[in-house]
Structures are given as structure tokens and as C-alpha cells.
A and B are shown apart, each in its own frame.
Chain A
Amino acid sequence: MAAPHEQEPLATPQANEQPSVVSFETPTDAVKTWAPGVLLPTLNYFRYEELLPEIYFASVDSGDWTMLSATELHVLRTSAAMPDALRSRLVRAHLLLDETNIDEYCRRLASRHFFLNEGPTLHILVVTRRCNLECIYCQAAEGRDRRGQMGVETAEKAIDRALETPARSLIVEFQGGEPLLNFPAVRAAVLRAEERGRALGKRVEFSLITNFTEVVTEDILRFLLGHKVSVCISLDGPREIHDRNRNRAGCYDTLRANIRLYEGVWRELRSEAVVLRALLTTTRHSLAAVAEIVDTYVDCGIDHLAIRPVTPVGRGRGERCDLDYSGAEFLVFWHGVVAEVLRRRELGLDLRESHLELFLQKLFANETGHMDIRSPCGAAIGQIVYDTDGGIFTCDEGRMLDDDRFMIGNVASPLRDALASPKTRAILESSIAEQYYCDYCACKPFCGVCPVLHYMDDGDLVGDPLRQRRCSVYGGMLRHILRLFATDGNARRTFAEIVETSWDR
């Protein structure tokens, strides 16, 4: 055990050095100067909050974290005697920096922010604003250019711009409206990206989000699967919920028929196991239907749930009672889904949920992940949106507003012009979490703010993240995972399994 810490005077830095940062040494430590003004060991800046009675979750900027008892927190708050076991744990979690871990901490800090220097990797082409459905929560329903359609020439120019990114590997995603209503633009963009990507030595992957209704044909599926376009469908659960959210009967049955068609074409063209991704947007109808929703997904052969709350953009911002639920109500629903995932995994089913997986990776695999849950957010530096008329937007949410506030350029000009514009810089700066209350929140290294939502709520890029549902939702998800980790051995084993599998992928 280390000797009790006594309040001894700190070593005095040289006169020409920066003001001293408070050191946190015990009498057994030899105080070392690591950099002008930094004496080691020293207590890092950490954020903490009470997770369970008398148990605190504490994290640092590198995404390392630990749990502290009330007594241990008291030690840190009062510079009291520090037992060796606590000291070792704090060094491992980089809450305490000494000469054995400070360089590694800097490396982890850099690797966690690798995306700052990577260039945008996700390029979203909004090939049409039109849709054959009128979903009650549609985010894209009230944006600019509501009937717009992207021409083939614009689609090809968008691909040329996308390939100007310094990133060596990128994803081109097709969105709408319903993107399959403008299949010529999708086809042209895929062919152009394949050709130009090969010539430039860049890896391009494709993704397409569709409602999977009557817009799907076998020829379209042949093209998509033949060109390895990853298809993501909207599936809100069993027939009653799915069709009610779409304001139209029969959508669910059409979707099921299209899944069968998709599986048939896949097996014909590809040798690996069928993969179909799906998104579930939560409405009030979903909240009490956890088991039915999971059953529907399993029944459709989809083992990866992606549960999300309604984004308060477009029609999702309306005041329909179907969409009116609190962050707390959503979390109860999501907790139920997680419980179902854990239960069914114990029965041998390889079921996953995207936010569970994402936050596990953030907590256990030092992943940053997800464009809009990081700091700074992915606007422009992680993702770019090319609208139907060639306008370039910072992000998916930004293009859904009625105005051009988040438009940063046009496909007619080089991508560099858009990325380097003062407007882009201002938007990015407004998403740096350190300037908000977030800098005191233990969830900060795993979370992020959204300037678009600030703008919608407050008419300003800089707003109050605490007032937004996403704060309670993302923080709530993280805390739930941590509580399960701390109290439930089965969950802990399953989490390790999920991260290990994800890590391997």
C-alpha cells in the first residue's frame, strides 16, 4: 500500500515555464517533468456521475473510463491517501497520468479523433425528393425542392466530387424520398463510381435506403446485388404498426414479398449468406410491442435491429399524438429491445441492435463511430449530402430543412471549396462538445451535439443540448449499458461477445 498522501509542497517549475498544473503524487513517487508545466504523476481532467447508489462512472477524453466507489471519488476530490489498487486502476483508465501511460494517452486521444484528418467518407446522394408513401414521421417531407429529381449528369458530377475527398475508402449512399423512383440516377452514379474509383485506386461501397414497396423490381434487385449495393429497408414491426406508420394498407405484405424476391436474387448472384439491413423508426405504436417487433425481424430473417426515435425534422417535428413520446418513454422501449436481444442471444440467436453495438464499441473498443454521435460531429468532415439540384449540404439533417442554412456548396465547384468555406467551419465549430455543459458530463467522450437541431430549436447553431431529447436518449442508452455491465454477469458476457464479434468484423 502506498503511504498516506501528505500535503507536501509541489516541485517548483523553472521561472520560464508555464504555470504549474497541479500534480497528484504520493510520497513514494518521484515527481517528473513531462512537459513545461506538467509534473507527473498528475490527475487528468475527468468527468463523473453517479450511475448506481454510491457508484460513479468516470471518464476521460480518450474514451477510457472506470467505476469509482463514493470513497474512491472522495480520495480524488480531497487528495487523500490513495490505495495501490485504486492507483493502478486510475493509471489503466488514464484518470491518473504518469510516465508509464501519458504517451499512450496522447496516442489514444489522437486515434479516437482519426476522423479529423480522414476527409468525408459518407457521401449521400438524394436522387429524388419524391416518394410513393406518406409516412407519418417522414423527415424529408418538408425540405426544400420537394418535388425535385436528380438528373443523371448531376449524379455523375456528385460522384466526381465525392471522389475528390482525401479518404481512400468511401461509402456512397442513396436516399430520397424513395430513391428507387429515380433508378436511372442510382445506376449512373454506381457505374461512374466504380469506374472512377478503380482509376483512382479508391474503394467505394454503396448503400441504398428504400421503403421496399411496389417500387422494387427483379431487374432493380439484380443490378443492386450485382453491384454489391447494401440495401437497407424501413421496417417498423408487425403488419399493423408498419402499415399504420405508412398511412396505407398492404405495405407490409408487399415488403415481405420483396424480401422473398431479394433472397432469391441474392442466392442466385452471391455465395455468402443473405444480408438485409433494416431501420425501425419508433412511434407511439411501437412502445408496447417489443416482443412482436423482434419476432417480426427474426421472421423476416433480419438479425440486426436498428431502433431509432423519430428525428424531429420534417413531418417528425409535427405534433401528431403517434409521435408524441418522451425520451424516457423511448428508453423504456429500447431497454425492452435490449432485454429481448440478450434473452434471444442466450438461446443461440445472433441478434444485434445497432445502438447497443455502437455504444459497446465506443466503451470497449475505443471506436468513435456514428457521424452524429461524436465531437465534432460528422457534418462536412465525415459526411456530405448532394441534393437533387446539385446543392451540397453538411449532413442528412441539414438538407431536410426548408432553407439553405446548411448548404455549403454545389457540385459545379470543387469539393475543397465547400469544405474550406467559413460557413462549414462555423457549423463544425458549433458541434464541438467542449463548449457546452457536455464538458462536465461523463458521457461526453461517447456522445455529440447536433447543430441542425440547435438551429431548429433556437434559431442558432449554438444551443442547449440538455433540452434536446437526444441528450436523454443517448445518455440513457449509455447509462443503461453501464448499469447492466456493473450488475448483470450474463449481460457482461454477452457484451464481451458482441464487441469481440464486432471487433473481428
Chain B
Amino acid sequence: MKVAVPKGVYASEVVMLSVQPYLADYFVAVSEDGDVLRISMSPRKSDVPPANEGEFLNHLQHATFRCQRQRETAELRRILLERAFSHYR
């Protein structure tokens, strides 16, 4: 599978997050080419089917939201943990 995605739409952290679940079964390469990020995947073993492009594009959508939520809630999570464990001080 070879996919090129616009850098302006998908940040590299989103792409890196999206390829994580594939690393166990595929050799993965990510490279920068002008305004796009190119992602290629090939199976590590012969009995593994080729990666599905549509599935990967959906991964990108979910990863975009996850990264956004993680960024937006980083401070909230810190404060909640601080409150939760305040009685241990």
C-alpha cells in the first residue's frame, strides 16, 4: 500500500500515530515530499494481506481527533490527577 497525504491536513504526529498499529505486521516507511507525506506499507510475512488504504485513511481521521483531544485536555488531565492524589501529600 502506498498513500500520499497533504501535510497541511495531517500533521506528522497524526501520521505517526496512525501507522503504530501496523508496525507488528508491516514494514512501514514514512517520508516527506514537498507538500505531502508519503506512507508505504508492505507485509512482514507472506500470510499477511496487503494493508487496506481505506482503513488507513479512516485511521488518520480518528488519529486526528485523538491527537486534538489529547492536546486540548493535557492541562485538564494534569489538574484532575493533582486533585485525585492531593491527599497523598
**B80 near A19: Cβ-Cβ < 8 Å:** no
Whether A22 is near chain B, meaning CB under 8 Å from some CB there, is yes
Closest chain-A Cβ to B73's Cβ sits at a distance in Å of 4
Q: Report whether over half of chain A's contact residues are helix, strand or loop; otherwise say mixed.
A: mixed
Q: Is A300 an interface residue (CB 8 A)?
A: no
Given A19-B75, A109-B80: A464 touches B23 (CB 8 Å cut-off): yes
Say which residue of B21, B63, B84 sits within 8 Å of A109 (CB atoms).
B84
Chain A residues whose C-beta falls within 8 Å of the C-beta of B81 in the assembled complex? 109
Q: Chain B contact residues: over half helix, strand or loop, or mixed?
A: helix
B-side contacts of A18, CB under 8 Å? 75, 79
Q: How large is the interface on A (under 10, 10 to 19, 20 to 34, 35 or more residues)?
A: 20 to 34
Q: Give the residues in chain A near B69, CB-CB below 8 Å.
A: 43, 45-46
Q: How long is the Cα–Cα vector from A110 to B87 in the complex, in angstroms? A: 9
Beta-carbon contacts of A414-440 to B below 8 Å, as 1s and 0s?
000000000000000000000001011
How many residue pairs link A and B with beta carbons under 8 A? The number is: 67
Return the chain B residue nearest A111 by Cβ.
B84
- The CA of A18 and the CA of B83, in the complex, are separated in Å by 16
Which residues in window 456-505 of A have CB below 8 A to B?
A: 464, 466-467
B65 on the A face (CB < 8 A): yes
Task: Please tell me if A252 contacts chain B, counting CB pairs below 8 Å.
Answer: no
Please indicate the chain B residues that have their CB under 8 angstroms from the CB of A110 in the complex: 84-85, 87
Task: Tell me whether A35 and B79 are in contact in the complex, defined as CB-CB below 8 angstroms, given that A109-B84, A110-B87, A439-B70 are known contacts.
Answer: yes
Asked if B76 contacts A466 (CB within 8 A), the reply is no
Give every chain B residue within 8 A of A43 (Cβ-Cβ): 69, 73
CA distance A19 to B73 in the complex (A): 11
Q: Could you say which of B23, B66, B75, B79 contacts A440, with CB atoms under 8 Å apart?
A: B66
Are A44 and B17 in touch, CB under 8 angstroms? no
How does the 8 Å CB contact mask read for A32-67 relative to B, with 1 for contact and 0 for none?
Answer: 000101100011111110000000000001000000
Residues of chain A within 8 A (CB-CB) of B65 are: 77
Q: Which residue numbers of B lie inside 8 Å of A, CB to CB?
A: 17, 20-21, 23-24, 62-63, 65-66, 69-70, 72-73, 75-77, 79-81, 83-85, 87-88
* 7 shortest interchain CB distances as A-B pairs: A45-B73, A109-B84, A21-B76, A110-B84, A106-B84, A106-B83, A467-B24
Known A45-B69, A110-B84, A464-B23; further 15 A-B contacts with Cβ < 8 A: A19-B75, A21-B72, A21-B75, A21-B79, A35-B83, A37-B76, A42-B76, A102-B80, A109-B84, A110-B87, A113-B85, A116-B88, A117-B88, A466-B23, A467-B23
